[in-house]
Structure 1
Amino acid sequence: MRAVRTVIRWLLGFIVLFLVVSLAFNALTYFNFNFHYGFLKLKQAAIATGFYLPAYYSHVLAAGLILVLGLFQLRTSISLRWRRLHRFLGKCYAYGILFFAAPGGLVMSFFINRGPGVLISFILQSVCWFAFTALAIRAIKHGKFEEHGQWMWRSYALTFAAVTLRLYVFLFTSSYDMSAPEAYGIIAWLSWTINLFAVEIYLRLKSSLMP
């Protein structure tokens, strides 16, 4: 039974790593700074305002990096064995969110023409993402290691929403019209609330098993 759990854990880990790295590499393709490349072809009106591109590059390029960094930061074995590396990567992850990814995502939210439900979802997600990461920094500065870890898990739940959003869109495109604000709105909310719910369950189970 233990062997089966180990295989399942490694399989899930591989799937998550594959999804994260794939999305991170996709983000790096935007380093060509071609304003008509990929997704940006659809946002020419937003680009014309002068506000969208700085927010877009801040969000997308930083998010690609912190997706990978956060995944390794949550590994307890790494944080205990290589503490200096853990601190350095943790600062890159946290400040990448606070100064680039979250503010960029917040500004981008106002250029998504998918209805008020989607707008509120992405604004709230960006605010929570910033807040959870800031609380993680605050906790570690006060020596509250367990609390720091909990807030980092919540922060990464929102970071990982970049993966789950695209996964849900892929899964439901064949059954629902993703151009409809209602359909996309549901997926926008589910992409990060389910992640947070799963993390809260994990943290509670972990806390209950601790002596």
Structure 2
Amino acid sequence: MKKTLLSPLTLKSGLTLLVLAFIFMFSLTYIIEDLRFYTLKENVLGRFFAIKWWLIGHLSGGILALLIGPFQFWANFRNKYLKLHRNLGKVYLISILIASLCSTYMAWNTAIMVHWTWAFSLQGLAFVWLISSFMAYRSIRRKQIENHKEWMIRSYVVTTGFVSFRWIMALPFIQNLGSFPEVAPTVVWSILALSLFITEVILRWNK
């Protein structure tokens, strides 16, 4: 029987779709909020006005990666539209390349004005984002399909880290822990370490 996007779901694939749908909708709230920056107005951009195109590059790349990711992990969609899957994969990787490079520039031009620990944490996040995505690309070029899938998962986990950071930083009890320079770098490193650790446990558990 020919498979369709509406083929019966296994429990695992059903749970995966639910998780991806949640991530997609959760990310969408922050994406909509960020659309105001595309007005390029100084009163909206604030301290980012002088480097607005670097910000737009970072936002555009990040938004594309967030939106593309769930479709790349949707097995039925991937199997039915393999060529589209590959093309979206290329857009995903290029988006992350642009976003991470723009993030690096902003880290040492605006974030450094807040505190060097804030700039360094953003640089670390951008570095892991770029390298995990490169490893996914390297694996598929070598036709190492399973390695490619695992590195894509790690890459997307880091992609969602930017959204997780904003959600956590908005929590009242986090805001009461101290000033932004005191709290933000720790939150970034905690998200990065814990999310990748949990991801690795899940990946190894299924071996």
Query: Scaled by the length of structure 2, what TM-score is found?
Result: 0.83
CA contact (8 A) 1:62 1:96 kept: yes
Work out whether 1:23 is the aligned partner of 2:21: no
CA distance in 1, matches of 2:96, 2:22: 24
Kept after mapping to 2: 8 A contact 1:27/1:64: no
**2:70 aligned partner:** 71
Q: 1:12 to 1:171 in 2, by over 3 A?
A: farther
Whole-angstrom distance in 2 between the partners of 1:33 and 1:201: 42
How far the C-alpha of 1:173 sits from its partner, in A, is 5.1
Deviations 1:92-144 (A, max 9, x none): 1011111x111011111121134232222111111111111111111111111
CA contact (8 A) 1:56 1:108 kept: yes
Distance in 2, matches of 1:137 and 1:147, equals: 10
Equivalent position of 1:109 in the other structure: 107
Q: Which runs of 5+ in 1 are unaligned?
A: none
Among all aligned residue pairs of Structure 1 and Structure 2, give the percentage whose two residues are the same amino acid. 24
Alpha-carbon distance between aligned partners in 1 of 2:12 and 2:88, rounded to the nearest angstrom: 29
CA pair 172-12 structure 1, distance change in 2 beyond 3 A: farther
- Against the structure 1 CA distance between its residues 144 and 12, is the aligned structure 2 distance closer, same or farther, given a 3 Å change threshold? closer
Query: How many pairs does the alignment contain?
Result: 196
CA distance in 2, matches of 1:61, 1:125: 17
SS of aligned partner of 2:143: coil
**1:137-191 C-alpha deviation (Å, 9 max, x unpaired):** 1111111111111111111111101110011112245652563422122112223
Counterpart contact for 2:161–2:191, Cα < 8 Å:
yes
Which residue of 1 is the match for residue 145 of structure 2?
145
1:183: which partner in 2?
A: 183
Q: Deviations over 1:54-99 (max 9, x none)?
A: 211110122112111012212223222211111111111011111x
Give SS of 1:160's match. Answer: helix
**Superposition CA RMSD, Å:** 2.5
Contact 1:114 1:184 in 2 (8 A): no
